Structure 1
Amino acid sequence: MSKQQISPLSTEELEEYWATIAEKIEWFKPYKQVIDKSIVPIPQWFVGGQMNTCHNALDRHVNAGRGKNIALIYDSDMTGERQQYSYQMLLEATTTFAGAMARQGIGKGDRVIIYMPMIPQAIIAMLACARVGAIHSVIYGGTAVEELASRMEDTKAKLVITASCGLKSGQIVEYKPIIDEAIDQTIHQPDLCVVLQRQHVNSPLKFGRDHNWFDFIADAVPQDCVHVEATDPLYIIYASGVMGKQKGLIRDNGGHAVELNWTMTSIYNLELNDVFWASSDISCIVGHSYLVYGPLFNGATTILYEGKQGNSLDAGAFLRIIDEYKVTYLLTDIKALETIKAENLVAEKLQTHNFSSLKSIYLTGDKCKENTLLWYKNTLNIPIIDHWWQTETIWPIAAVNNLDCGNFKPNPTAVSRAIPGWNVQVLDSNGIPTNGGETGEIVCRLPLPPASLVNQWNAETYFIESHFSVYPGFYKTGDTGYVDDNGQIIIVTRFCNIVI
């Protein structure tokens, strides 16, 4: 199957289809069963297989002779610091930190809280957790004490990895006081806290519990990859639930690697040596999937940008990144494009910057305005592709492969068609399929594809009731919309409790 061929037979020929895709990652032990549908409502994928996520993100590229290729570009507008990590460099940093974790007894199944700014050590910590089989939960730096404490308690984290501070819009946000207060509020307190001391703040350390990052890794023996089951959890990511309840969504190892590896080539058209920039915080699902794991699974270069984003986006710096690092594909929130368009910088920067490397822009978050899509398409003369997904799904439900569209003409008001593995339907309030073009509840027929809605940490009953009980046999997305005559999905409303 070539990278552009997105087969329409993934639902009807489920096992054969995903077995072919699973060949693209490296397994320590072959799986015995592609899908176990006896476990309802969410089946298990690649049962009996053993692998390691970090191995597929780093080791296999170094082993294939691509160790000198650039894996990670770090650019901080806050400090002026610029760093590039080759795959070999990133592997060495990861194996060292993983060795330090293992030396302290952190291993398979242990939970680790990562509360860090947008710096390379955050990604190193994530990969090191995957390497030893620990389950990471990355929390947005600056998250309030009460929310952080609740996640520490929910996960019963054994280790917290943090930095002395983050930099937000030119302001220093001290992390260590937040960490200390959150720990004080928990019944189950972590055994260890590793602190990267940044030049702006030198945080006091609690004797016996806290460790300076560089003291922690001193003389550590590089750690080999631990063999984990494909069905073992890789991470827990928190999203909003009903009535403000935080829900910790679980992602497995095997299905996650198979799926993200596939999407990078079949949806985003990524190739070796391409530069992929997902302009998201690593704590978000976009950051997990397409800033960290997706590009590294494919041996490409990913960009980690520490600077103003969201509503305070520095549009000029945003465009500088694209030019300076020759970004091939950009995955960004619609807010970023709206901000840049409002400042009317693109035409100006086209005179001084070179955007010829950029092949397409993909959008996440709220529905993009049609005039914004057309403005960027006409100004940059590249495809601007809106697509639809959720934290729960980990990857797009609806998308279009812009290099293999053929005669398919995307509807600018739509988020394209459902991609393989997703059987999207629209139901009325009685659970009856609507007529074409009629707005209703968007649902996805079970079984869902690999890695999507695996489970919820410490809340399986709530997880099943909230997502699968309303329409038996379907996942209730919470979004409403309709499907047009060409099979393209038009989103009318988004469910505010589901966050990308």
Structure 2
Amino acid sequence: CGLEPNKIIKYKTILDEALASCVEKPRKCIIFQRRNVEVCDLVADLDIDWEDALYNADPHPCVPVESNHPLYILYTSGTTGQPKGVVRTTGGHLAALTWTMKTVYNMSDDDVWWTASDMGWVVGHSYMCYGPLCSGITSVMYEGKPDRTPHPGQYFRIIQEHKVNAMFTAPTALRVIKRADPLLKIGRQYSPKSLRVLFVAGEHCDQETKLWATKAFGAPVLNHWWQTETGYPVTAMCVGLGLPLTLPKYSTGLPIPGYDVRVVREDGVECEPGELGHITIKLP
């Protein structure tokens, strides 16, 4: 099941209904039970309890694969509303993620990194799991909301408790905290002094939220741009390469090495500065 501040979401029921409409059925489903909340009924010969599987499992060595071996498929709808599966390859993706942890985010293996996201989003895959862990960097994983689990001081508490040096979240999360605790009556109970920089992405970050968060967390807020299809940043201020911790208003930084980003008109001609157009990306 899933936990929301005011309700329990019965994921197992949703899963069973989805499988009933599938033409191709899975051979097995591994189910993680939240025994302190609710235990669901398992389907005989199909469902396996996670704890039982873990208890009975034998250790297995790492399996070497070639560079283009598929790492995972992550679905995104974009603006079409139709799910599209993005296939990520193993070698190039992991090389890019470890490179960005050092060059874009300026992290080293004695730092503490926190991506306040979830594993269902590309940010969770790239920068909760693969990026920091493949770089030997401590990665904080938080299962909860910016507020109401139990209060809007959670981000500040986690930064203080785990001595987080850099954080990545979405502007919406900052707006939630700002709305719930605008004067930081709860947030000020904790000290985020270990935080060097706060990265945001995934949507537009308005200046009011950015300025509030800069003051609230005592660290510069850097917006950068990328999407599920890319797997890691397209534009950013590469702090690890010596770029400053400041950005012009509304900027998401510069194209990182590996991307040639242009804005073009309908006929493919490059736009003038300040002119709206279509974003195009190609190799340098």
Same fold by TM-score greater than 0.5: yes
Name which of 162, 178, 181 aligns with 2:14.
Answer: 178
- The CA distance in 1 between the partners of 2:23 and 2:240, in whole Å, is 53
User: Which one of the candidate residues 195, 210, 215 is aligned to 2:31?
Assistant: 195
The residue aligned with 1:305 is 142
Alignment RMSD, CA only? 2.3
From 245, 249, 255, give the equivalent of 1:412: 249
Asked if structure 1 preserves the Cα contact closer than 8 Å seen for 2:222 and 2:246, the reply is no
Name the stretch that deviates more: 199-208 or 392-401. Answer: 199-208
> Alpha-carbon deviation of 1:224?
0.7
Look up the match of 2:106: 269
Distance in structure 1 (CA, Å) of the matches to 2:180 and 2:40 = 39
Residue 433 of structure 1: CA displacement? 0.8
| Offset at residue 248 of structure 1 (A) | 0.5
Q: Hey, what's the Cα distance between the residues in 2 that align with 1:440 and 1:313? A: 44
CA distance in 1, matches of 2:271, 2:130: 38
Q: Superposition pairs for residues 229-378 of structure 1, below 5 Å?
A: 229-241=66-78, 243-309=80-146, 314-345=151-182, 347-349=184-186, 351-378=188-215
Letter in 2 for 1:394: G
Secondary structure of the 2:239 match is coil
Contact kept? 2:223, 2:253, Cα under 8 Å: yes
Unpaired segments ≥5 residues, structure 2: none
Q: Does 1:168 align with 2:16?
A: no
Question: How far is 1:313 from its partner?
Answer: 9.5
Contact 1:313 1:339 (C-alpha < 8 Å) held by counterparts: no
- Counterpart of 1:389 (choices 202, 223, 226) is 226
2:276 to 427, 433, 439: 439
What is the rounded CA distance, in whole Å, between the counterparts of 2:156 and 2:245 in structure 1? 30
Amino acid at match of 2:136: G
The aligned length equals 283
CA offset at residue 348 of structure 1?
3.4
Normalised TM-score (structure 2): 0.91
- 2-side partners of 1:282 and 1:220: how far apart? 24
Structure 1, residues 112-139: CA drift from partner, whole Å, max 9, x if none? xxxxxxxxxxxxxxxxxxxxxxxxxxxx
Change in Cα spacing, 1:289 to 1:314, as seen in structure 2 (3 Å) is: farther
Contact kept in structure 1, 2:101 and 2:135, CA below 8 Å: yes
* Paired residues of 1:275 and 1:329 also in contact (CA < 8 A): yes
Higher relative contact order (CA 8 A, sep 6+): 1
Output one character per residue of 1:262-321: Cα deviation in whole Å (capped at 9) or x when no partner. Answer: 001111111113221111111100100011111101111112212125999942222211
| Equivalences for residues 16-31 of structure 1 within 5 A | none
Q: Judging changes above 3 Å, is the alpha-carbon distance between structure 1 residues 211 and 344 closer, same or farther for their aligned structure 2 residues?
A: closer
Equivalent residues of 1:316, 1:345 under 8 A apart? no
CA distance in 2, matches of 1:347, 1:311: 15
In the TM superposition, residue 215 of structure 1 has moved relative to its aligned partner by 2.3
Partner amino acid, structure 2, of 1:416: G
Using a 3 Å threshold, how does the CA distance of structure 1 residues 356 and 265 change in structure 2: closer, same or farther?
same
Q: Distance in 2 between matches of 1:407 and 1:177?
A: 50
* 1:100-179 matches, cutoff 5 A: 165-179=1-15
Q: Distance in 2 between matches of 1:413 and 1:208?
A: 54
Partner of residue 205, structure 1:
42
**Residues 378 and 205 of structure 1, relative CA distance in 2, 3 Å threshold:** closer
Contact residue 340 and residue 346 of structure 1 kept, 8 A: no
Aligned residue identity for 1:359: R
Q: 1:352 to 1:252 in 2, by over 3 A?
A: same
* Within-5 A mapping of 1:68-83: none
Once the two structures are superposed, residues 444-496 of structure 1 have per-residue CA deviations (whole angstroms, 9 ceiling, x without a partner) of 1247xxxxxxxxxxxxxxxxxxxxxxxxxxxxxxxxxxxxxxxxxxxxxxxxx
| Aligned residues with identical type, % of pairs | 37
SS in 2 for 1:330: strand
Q: Identify unmatched segments of 5+ residues in structure 1.
A: 1-164, 448-500
